[in-house]
Amino acid sequence: MLNYISKCNNNFMQDKKFYHIPEFARIMDLSRIEVFRKVKSGEIPARKSGKSYQISRDFADQIEGVLTGKNKKILDDVIKVYKSDEIVDFGLKNRPVPVHRFTKKISTDQIDYVLEKIGNDAKYNPAILQNCLNTPFLRGQRRELYDPLEEKAAIMFYLLIKNRPFYQQNAEFSILILRCFLGLNARVLNTTSQRMQKLADWIAQSDSEFYSAVMSSCVIFFKNHFD
C-alpha cells in the first residue's frame, strides 16, 4: 500500500508544471530556507502565487539533467565543433552571466544523446561515470563542497581523467563532456582542444599526493579561460 502511495505521489509530481518551494526543495535535496533564499536572490526563477512562490518544472528538469528541448539545442551547438581545434562561443560569448546561478547538472542521458549524435558507440562504466558527474554537487554542512562553477568543472574533469570511465578515448570524451557541462551553464571554455588534451595528460600523470595542487591549478586554468 505504501509503495502504491509513493508511486502515485511520484507520478503526480512528474505531471506538475510548477512546484512550490517545499516540493522543489525535496526534489533538489535542499532545505526550504535555502530554496527560499535562492528564489529571493534571483538564483532560482520563480513566480509569485498568492503568498507563495512557484518554480517551473522546466527549470527543475534543466537543473537535474533532463534531456529537454532547450538542453538538446545547447548540446547540439557543442557537437557542431566536436574535435575542432577552434575556439567557438556557440553564441554564448559576451552574454551577461547572472551573479547568482543555479548550476545545471549533466546527466548520462545527455551524454548518451551526445554520443549518439556524433555517431560513436562509446562504452563506459556507468557507476564510475555517474560518480564523476555527481561529485561536483556534493554537499557538506549545508553548503556545496565545490563552488563556484570553476571548482565544479575542475573536480569533474579531474575525476573523469583519473577514474577513466570510458574504456577508449577517455581524455577525448572527458573534454567533450566538460564542454557540454559548461555549455549547459552558459559558459564557454576559451581554449583549444589541443591545450585541453595537454591538461588532461598532465592530470593523468600527476601523483595523487599532489591532488590539492593539481585541483588548484585546474580551478585557476578554468577561471582564466571562461567566457
Residue 34: pLDDT over 70: yes
Q: Are strands 18-20 and 139-140 parallel, antiparallel or unpaired?
A: unpaired
Q: What percent of the chain has pLDDT over 70?
A: 84
* Higher local confidence (pLDDT), 35 or 180: 180
Predicted confidence (pLDDT) per residue in 151-189, tens digit: 999 999 999 999 999 999 999 999 999 999 999 998 888
Domains of the chain and any CATH numbers? 2-63 (1.10.10), 69-224 (no CATH)
Which residue's C-alpha cell is 593523468?
204
Which residue's C-alpha cell is 535542499?
30
24: which 3 cell numbers? Answer: 522543489
Predicted confidence (pLDDT) per residue in 186-200, tens digit: 888 888 888 999 999
Predicted confidence (pLDDT) per residue in 79-129, tens digit: 887 756 555 544 444 444 444 467 889 999 999 999 999 988 899 999 999
